[in-house]
Chain A
Amino acid sequence: MEKKETKFFDQLKNNAYYIKWLKNPFTYVTAAVLLSLFQTITLAVTKEPWGVSGVFAYWGAWVFEAFGGSVDKWYYFASSGAQAVLNDGFINHAGTWRNLGIIIGALTATLLASGFKIKKIKSKKQIIAASLGGLLMGYGARLAFGCNIGALYSGIASLSLSGWVFAIGMFFGAIVGSKLLVKFFM
């Protein structure tokens, strides 16, 4: 029995459709078309443009509330919309399910392509850079009321000028970021 299974997976590995659909990454164009399609569906179904990082702020608030804290008086969560989201709970939050879908989907995709690997941490620099970068990105995204998805992608897709302003800022930020990367990581 075991022998047969190995054979099946050995065959699958060389199957043209497996290689085309699951093993090799999609082209940028394919991915772009799929993204456009699904963000339109997201907008139509949830009545809100696609966003990612705003959801994490709610997750933080729910965790904080689970430990007995309250964010009622926080400026960020002061709006009636934000309060309604918090009161409805994460089970009724479309963005939460979407983000979970992204995480599970990404994991599934790497597993199907047999590309899953737990990477080793090479240096302390990586830990510092990842923590600092993550904090700055999260904090910046909340100050800007959106990340590269909510503010840039969905902004431009909704024909909003703010998306283009965000793009200019991100462009120069990326230049500075690349210089720092080459300086500290090469």
Chain B
Amino acid sequence: MKEVILDCLGEACPVPLVKAQNKLKELEVGDVLIVQIDHSCAMKNLPEWARKDGYNVEVEEVDDGEWEVIIEKNK
């Protein structure tokens, strides 16, 4: 059970999504991936993809225009 932070601040779509997909593949079941984003469209497509794939997802607004998408690799 580890927590991995993926810094995608300053990256435009679809870079955060592809980076998160690649990173999640490396992780073990039970790990948590925290993707830091500041591109509002990633706030839509990241959780959408992760939920569709059946992972637990939470989005947290950490600052104006800055979010953390927390994905739990639960399977």
Contacts and interface: CB of A to CB of B under 8 A. Distances in A.
A110 B40 contact: yes
Contacts, number: 39
B40 A115 contact: yes
Contacts of B22: 186
Given A119-B10, A181-B14, A110 B19 contact: no
B44 A25 contact: yes
Interface string A30-66: 0000000000000000000000000000000000000
B8 to A, nearest CB: 9
Contact of A181 (B15, B39, B63): B15
Which bracket fits the contact residues of B?
A: 10 to 19
Contacts of A117: 38, 63-66
Q: Is the interface of A mostly helix, strand, loop or mixed?
A: loop
Contact of B15 (A25, A120, A121, A185): A185
B9 A120 contact: yes
A173 B55 CA distance: 32
A114 interface: yes
Interface string A141-180: 0000000000000000000000000000000000000100
B65 A115 contact: yes
Interface string B36-49: 00111001100000
10 contacts: A110-B65, A114-B65, A115-B40, A117-B38, A119-B9, A126-B10, A181-B18, A186-B15, A186-B19, A186-B22
Given A115-B40, A117-B63, A122-B11, 9 more contacts: A25-B40, A110-B40, A114-B65, A117-B65, A117-B66, A119-B39, A126-B10, A186-B18, A186-B19
